[in-house]
């Protein structure tokens, strides 16, 4: 599988927007399909590189501000590169009451992250908080690469992280 760095490099290199051209073609270069186009671009690069958004705007003949506007409106879109493993810790009411905060602190402490710095330097992990994941009965809930972990604790969360680190070593 292609690694994140290659993809990021691909997004930045001049004349290397072949993948985006393919996405645009699939959507008929239709400005009305901007959201699905951006979804596909994000799937390709794991986030929306600024150069890619500019390229999409130029190709569709629409102002870059419109593309950026859509990208920032939907929380689903990421404007910064994410790590290979994305941990989403629920901080909705039920999870907060069941002590999600110590889990977040443990994860950030282990990975050297903070509210401002969400991705590790080696691009292995991104830790973010989300509002209700719709599994309140399992609170506190954590999502790791789309896999749901219920009734987590700082210890369990760190075990999961250590396992991933071992697997990636």
4 is a site residue for ligand FES (CB under 6 A) = no
Total residues binding ligand FES (CB under 6 A): 12
Q: Which letter does DSSP use for residue 146 in this model?
A: T
Interatomic CA distance for residues 42 and 34, integer angstroms: 12
Answer yes or no: are the C-beta atoms of 159 and 151 closer than 8 Å.
no
- Please name the residues in contact with 113: beta carbons below 8 A apart, sequence gap of 6 or more: 107, 119, 120, 125, 127
Answer yes or no: are the C-beta atoms of 81 and 119 closer than 8 Å.
yes
Q: Looking at 16-24, 58-66, 71-79, 133-141, which segment touches ligand FES (CB under 6 A)? A: 133-141
Using the minimum distance from each CB to ligand FES, give the nearer residue, 143 or 164.
143
Tokens 């950030």 — which residue?
108
List beta partners, residue 148: 143
Using the minimum distance from each CB to ligand FES, give the nearer residue, 94 or 165.
94
Taking the complex as a whole, the smallest distance from the CB of residue 125 to ligand FES amounts, in Å, to 20
Taking residues 83 to 102 in sequence order and writing x for each that binds ligand FES by CB under 6 A, - otherwise, the string is -------x-xxxx-------
Of 106, 124, 132, 165, the one binding ligand FES (CB under 6 A) is 132
Using the minimum distance from each CB to ligand FES, give the nearer residue, 71 or 87.
87
* 125-130/85-90 β-pairing: parallel
Residues that bind ligand FES (CB under 6 A): 90, 92-95, 132-136, 139, 141
């Amino acid at each position: 599988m292609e690694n994140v760095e290659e993809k990021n490099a691909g997004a930045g290199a001049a004349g290397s927007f072949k993948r985006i051209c393919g996405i645009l073609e699939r959507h008929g270069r239709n400005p009305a399909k901007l959201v699905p186009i951006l979804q596909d671009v994000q799937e390709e690069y794991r986030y929306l590189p600024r150069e890619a958004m500019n390229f999409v705007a130029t190709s569709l003949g629409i102002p870059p501000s419109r593309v950026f506007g859509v990208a920032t409106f939907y929380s689903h879109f990421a404007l910064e590169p994410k790590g290979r493993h994305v941990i989403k810790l629920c901080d909705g009411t039920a999870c907060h009451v069941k002590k999600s905060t110590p889990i977040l602190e443990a994860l950030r402490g282990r990975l050297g992250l903070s509210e401002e710095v969400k991705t590790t330097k080696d691009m292995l992990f991104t830790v973010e908080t989300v509002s209700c994941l719709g599994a309140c009965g399992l609170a506190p809930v954590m999502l790791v690469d789309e896999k749901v972990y219920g009734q987590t604790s700082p210890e369990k969360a760190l075990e999961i992280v250590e396992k991933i680190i071992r697997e990636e070593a």
